[in-house]
Amino acid sequence: MKNLLVLLIAFSAISALQAQPKEIRYIREDWPNSQTDYASLQRGGIINVGLGNGEWGYGFLGVEMEGTMKVVIEMINSTPFSKSDPNSFAGFIIDYHTAKGYTKRMLLSIGMHDETRWDVTPTYGSHNKGNDLRYLGLRNSYEIDFGTYAPAGWDGKVIFTVGIQNAGINSSISAKWLYPNFYNY
């Protein structure tokens, strides 16, 4: 009985460690044809993505992570968006990982989207135009439950991206990463 108790305690400790959110890496991608588009992650978990002096372009900042069912983002600022073409987008992207790799891309719009989108940026993760799209609207903060949109066979790994594309001259999104607590130092 004593050995069983020790085994159960050890198993519980291992399970608790595995359940801790883990950042794998962060990925930034901005339009290579522009000197002014940007995507950055700054001290304190501040995410800035935006377009510079062109109407077209993009900035995406993604965080690959595992072991968490949600993310909490607080909006700091966003400029007005203007739709330039069907690929115009402002919001969040979730790329879901399964045994076959990254297989599903969920687009969550906070202000602008088009269901006829055909572009596959960002080029990481599922690298597709998006399997599904939801409009969240512009709010002060977002608590996004990954399980809500997860495909069958999801293994708990995601790339969560804050992004903007073809949203007008000097358009931008600034947000603070609140949970998981990877960047609040």
Number of domains in the chain: 1
Q: Which tokens belong to 70? A: 């949600």
The alpha carbon of residue 183 and the mean position of all alpha carbons in its chain are separated, in whole angstroms, by 15
Mean pLDDT, range 161-170, rounded to an integer: 95
Residue 128 located in a structural domain: yes
Residue 115 located in a structural domain: yes
Q: What is the DSSP string of 37-52?
A: -EEEEETTTEEEEE--
5-19, 64-78, 170-184: least confident range: 5-19
Residue 123 located in a structural domain: yes
Residue 108 near residue 136 (C-beta atoms within 8 A): yes
Distance CA 13, CA 29 (A): 38
Residue 184 located in a structural domain: no
Confidence of residue 19 (pLDDT cuts 50, 70, 90): low
Residue 51 located in a structural domain: yes
Confidence of residue 74 (pLDDT cuts 50, 70, 90): very high
Task: For 86-129, write each residue's pLDDT tens digit.
Answer: 999 999 999 999 999 999 999 999 988 888 999 999 999 999 99
- Which pLDDT score, from 0 to 100, does residue 111 have? 84
Confidence of residue 31 (pLDDT cuts 50, 70, 90): confident
Its pTM stands at: 0.87
Residue 14 located in a structural domain: no
Residues forming beta bridges with residue 163, ordered by sequence position: 60, 91
Instruction: Give the domain CATH number at 135.
Output: 2.60.120.180
Residue 10 located in a structural domain: no
DSSP state of 150: P
User: SS3 for 82?
Assistant: coil
Domain that holds residue 44: 21-179
Contacts of residue 11, defined as CB under 8 A and 6 or more positions apart, other chains included, come to none
Nearest CA to 33 among 66, 57, 3, 15? 57
Confidence of residue 183 (pLDDT cuts 50, 70, 90): low
Residue 13 located in a structural domain: no
To which H or E segment does residue 130 belong? Answer: none
